[in-house]
Structure 1
Amino acid sequence: MNVSELVNIAIILLLVATIVTLLSRWLRVPYVTGLVLAGLAITELLPRRIGLNDSLILNLFLPILIFEAAINTDISRLRSTIKPIALLAGPGVLICSAVTSILLKFILGLNWTAALLAGVILAITDTVSVIAVFKEVAVPSRLSTIVEGESLFNDGIALVLFSLIVKFHAAGSLTILDGMQELFVVIVGGTLIGLAVGYLSTGLFVRSDEPLSSILLTVAVALGAFQIGQFLSVSGAVAVVVAGLIVGTVGLSDNVSASTRLTLLSFWESIAFGVNSFIFLLIGLEIDLITLWRNLPAVLLAIVAYQAGRILSIYPLLALVSWFDRPIPWRWQHVLFFGNIKGSLSMALALSIPGTVTGREQLIAIVFGIVLLSLLGQGLSLPWSVKKLQLSESSASHQKIEELQAQLITAKAAQDELDTLLKTGILPKAVYEEMRSNYQVQVATAEKSLREFYNRRSDEFDGESNKFIQLDAIRRRLLLAEKGALNEAMRKRIISEEIVRERLRKIDEQLLKLEDD
């Protein structure tokens, strides 16, 4: 394909993506589903047929999407939900893969290698579609964090398992002990690379503090961490996740100016949106409806198989969470099950199956069919399902409190930036005082109104939930801060481990009593 054809195709795809995004907002349907349908419709309009390239997705698109999700993840919230996330992304992926593989082996008659590869491929969830729904339908922030966190680590674990199965197929034999040992080495190695790349880059952030160079640096970190991991035969996906979390938490700290943070986050939001738009359009272009129709019975049976695996990896595992953490409500578990949507990574892994695997073409056709039906069926029904579950009802007082909190947050942030401008000599003191006083009026107004809300009795709110009056979310953050301080004191040997353990136990009891937010 020459450059002229490539430019023409890119122009068509950009125009289609723009139109689909606008129509999706108007029709209130997930834009990723609209993009797939558009891809199916415009195949004949392109000067040359194009499709997904597994190397392009795994080496370019995947690191970009993982890094963007990681830098936008609040590590304090991730830490507070790490137990259910670890269960879902670790044992959950293994259980789902195993159950799906066994069912596919006996239902479709696949050989063990093909069945195991299919099980891993179908254990991956596409969080882009689920998070797009969460932006339209309000859900508790803890649930959103669990979904995002599971996806971050789910992709990495699935890629590692896929590589192990391919290596087993090439070698002809691999013991369970060797497999577990390699799995451990690959994950730990990826984590160490992510830590090294992430912390090395944070020093450059603070020193440069310039938006354009920071953008280039983060792109280098995202792609570099993945490639270093692949080169050293460890998990590049895990390396990108860890590096992204460090950059988002440490690199974009208060030592970096607000303008740099805003520019950087806006860039990554835009690039992730663009990548997702291209990916889902290419999914539509790649799928052949005639081939799908021929393999429809096998596709439907495979959907039953991976949904059975998802059920057994969600409900039993999350039932265990109540033994050592805040329980996960049933309605949340239903969302995690309904949100089991397949996407581009599943298709990329299907395309990268070695040609020596028996039944490769049938497997690719089945995975492609599953992705299409998943995006159309679950993608369109998920918003309705989330609304029916009534996960969080937004009341008038709830909205008022959030508006006041937004006013308070923005005014204080502006005051902090004014202080910086004054210290650096950019702003004269007279202008500084005038502008700061204007923001102080907003701060005082918001604080007074919030204080009145918090001091009212719960019966003044017409019987609605007084969760916001009890300030559970704020109390949780304070308790987590206490835990962090205790662990740090124990690490520095300021306080004995016996005292710290007892205090931590009491704090955990208080956390369990709080309402889920």
Structure 2
Amino acid sequence: MIPLSLLSNLMPPLTSPPATGVELVNIYGLVQTFIILLLVATGVALVSRRLGFPYVIGLVVAGLLIPKPTLPSNVGLNPELVLNLFLPILIFEAALNTDASRLKRNLLPIGLLAGPGTIVAALITGGLFKLAFVWPWIPILAAAVILTITDTVSVIAAFRVVPVPARLSTIVEGESLFNDAVALVLLGLITTVHSQGAFTPFLGLKQFLIAFPGGILLGLGLGYLCIGLFRQLEDPLSSLLLTVAVALGTFQVGTGLGVSGAIAVVTAGLVIGNWGLEHETTTAQSKLTLFSFWEYAAFGVNTFIFLLLGIEVDPKFVIAAVPIALLAIVMYQIGRAAVVYPFLYVLRWFDRPIPIRWQNILIIGNVKGSLSMAMALSLPRSMPFRTEVITLVFGTVLVSLIAQGLSLPWFVRKMKVAQQSESGLQIQTLQLNLMTAKAAQAQLKELLQAGSLPQPLHDDLWNQYQARILTAESELQSICKSDIQFPDDLGQRLYQNRLQRQLILAEKSAVTNGLRRGLLSPEIAEPYLQDLNRQFIALGDD
């Protein structure tokens, strides 16, 4: 059994009881601190790019090195701020930029890992923690749930250094979108059992049945309401403000109604990003303004989360916590491996198989982040061994971020999952020319109809872009029909597979529509759908 009391004296100040009374805020001092942190973050960005290590790791290290006496006492990682402001921003931005069709194609592995996978991994990790720590089951399970979720920011940062297949990236991002919500519901269930002093399977089932369907329905309702209002607004800045209100408001409404606010925000973001912004009345300027703002918002939130994470902790604590943190990492990685390998082995009977190298990355990339620390700090103060749980989580998160985060790009390279090839880059370049030229033509059409562009100039510019389109289409067609073998024909095969998947999904959508409207009978439609499913599964991974 391992005591954690030796580390408690080095814990962050947020573990102490909150101050009472009204506290005057030194605005001038906070503005100065804000400027200093921005300059530190800029310096970290420059150094990390030069040295080739992940930006978020550099922020944590920089925060550890900042002298604490130079900062105001009220600067730190506030759990309420992270859960109620930062988390909705990060979730909404990720959902807004997620292609629903890609998510749908990988719904089975994402659902398995984020749903039952999170629960099983938490139970296995909790059992191992029980062998190591002399705690009751409530804090044991709380620590296990908190350390089950993955910090996708660090993983995606590694993927940007070493490119990986699109499907693997989609699975990682999709799992993170939903496993955070599952963990929050599980932690809510644990705190409810703590406060009531009893647990029944009916209580757990009831909480899940209310949290998830309720969150989805709330997200759908507010998402489509936002779309209706969005199409009435012509000002891009007003549309932007509306999405901010929906992102933050959905989380608060969901929490107030007792459903999963995180699931509601994910659903609303998917609806707005995939259906709200694709309407013909949405201008290119509105889309550009919206996506640019949310990209900056997520980047800024991540910057301050990881920087404050490093500021929050005494460097001596990190050194002292290394042995216990390493043991905890081994334990939760065992829980992760016990889920990933069996679950994805069974998956091959129902969906396209996940290569074993991808599975290895899903395990090694199981990095912890700031949400785990915020969840630990949000535990009820009446919970026994709360300080020890926070100590374990803080130490584990910091060691995981630095050790796993720095080694992940090297490991991804060793797995050799990157599938960039000469032909693949050629195809992507042609696709880039097609997408940009057609987007420009769409904007030219809008300008002409609005009277902002004379017809002769419109025709001249239109023909220039049309020439680019015809050239790119001709070269793509020759690639698809060519009998010549590429030196590395991987890019050609991937392009054809992705194209075939999109066509199959379009066929399935048409058949499903026909069934719903009564135009097709099940006797005719079902065999055709089964054949389409077999073709889809037979296609290679992208």
TM range (shorter): over 0.9
Gaps of 5+ in 2: 1-24
Q: 1:418 maps to what in 2?
A: 444
Cα distance change, pair 64–466 in 1 and its aligned pair in 2 (3 A): closer
SS at 1:355 equivalent: coil
Deviation, 1:296, is 3.7
- Describe how 1:183-194 pairs up with structure 2 within 5 A: 183-194=208-219
Q: Does 1:328 align with 2:361?
A: no
Cα distance change, pair 247–513 in 1 and its aligned pair in 2 (3 A): same
Deviations 1:117-139 (A, max 9, x none): 01110111010111112222111
Deviations 1:427-478 (A, max 9, x none): 221111011011111111212222222222252x125436437611111111
Q: 2:526 maps to what in 1?
A: 501
**Partners of 1:463 and 1:433 in 2: CA distance:** 40
**Partners of 1:201 and 1:226 in 2: CA distance:** 14
Deviation, 1:91, is 0.6
Q: 1:197 maps to what in 2?
A: 222
- Describe how 1:198-237 pairs up with structure 2 within 5 A: 198-237=223-262
Q: Does 1:40 align with 2:64?
A: yes
Matching residue's letter, 1:375: L
- Describe how 1:344-493 pairs up with structure 2 within 5 A: 344-459=370-485, 461-462=486-487, 464-465=489-490, 467-468=492-493, 471-493=496-518
Larger CA deviation: 234-243 vs 426-435? 426-435
Deviation, 1:241, is 0.4
Deviations 1:273-326 (A, max 9, x none): 000000000110112233344444332221111111111111111111111100
Q: 2:173 maps to what in 1?
A: 148
Give the counterpart of 2:49 among 13, 25, 45. 25
Maintained 8 Å contact 2:146/2:376 = yes
**Partners of 1:398 and 1:314 in 2: CA distance:** 30
Q: 2:540 maps to what in 1?
A: 515
Deviations 1:46-86 (A, max 9, x none): 33243211000000000000000000000000000000000
Maintained 8 Å contact 1:226/1:239 = yes
Gaps of 5+ in 1: none
TM-score, structure 1 as length reference: 0.97
Maintained 8 Å contact 1:108/1:298 = no
What is the CA RMSD across the aligned residues, in angstroms? 1.4
**Partners of 2:56 and 2:411 in 1: CA distance:** 17
Q: Does 1:81 align with 2:106?
A: yes
Maintained 8 Å contact 1:292/1:365 = no
Give the counterpart of 2:160 among 122, 126, 135. 135
Q: Does 1:258 align with 2:284?
A: yes
Maintained 8 Å contact 2:215/2:263 = yes
Matching residue's letter, 2:177: L
Maintained 8 Å contact 1:418/1:436 = yes
**Partners of 1:289 and 1:362 in 2: CA distance:** 18
Cα distance change, pair 46–252 in 1 and its aligned pair in 2 (3 A): farther
Larger CA deviation: 341-350 vs 419-428? 419-428
Give the counterpart of 1:125 among 130, 135, 150. 150
Give the counterpart of 1:243 among 256, 268, 292. 268
Deviation, 1:355, is 1.2
Q: Does 1:115 align with 2:140?
A: yes
Q: Does 1:273 align with 2:295?
A: no
**Partners of 2:505 and 2:159 in 1: CA distance:** 25
Q: 1:55 maps to what in 2?
A: 80
Q: 2:31 maps to what in 1?
A: 7
**Partners of 1:250 and 1:357 in 2: CA distance:** 44
Cα distance change, pair 191–430 in 1 and its aligned pair in 2 (3 A): same
Maintained 8 Å contact 2:40/2:62 = yes
Matching residue's letter, 1:332: W
Matching residue's letter, 1:53: N
Deviation, 1:44, is 3.3
Q: 2:5 maps to what in 1?
A: none
Deviation, 1:343, is 0.4
Matching residue's letter, 1:169: H
- Describe how 1:63-102 pairs up with structure 2 within 5 A: 63-102=88-127
Larger CA deviation: 311-320 vs 481-490? 481-490
Maintained 8 Å contact 2:423/2:489 = no
**Partners of 1:415 and 1:110 in 2: CA distance:** 65
Cα distance change, pair 467–95 in 1 and its aligned pair in 2 (3 A): farther
**Partners of 2:70 and 2:448 in 1: CA distance:** 56
Matching residue's letter, 2:496: L
**Partners of 1:498 and 1:22 in 2: CA distance:** 62
Larger CA deviation: 264-273 vs 202-211? 202-211
Matching residue's letter, 2:377: L
Q: 2:12 maps to what in 1?
A: none
Maintained 8 Å contact 2:90/2:298 = yes
Matching residue's letter, 1:11: I
**Partners of 1:467 and 1:388 in 2: CA distance:** 24
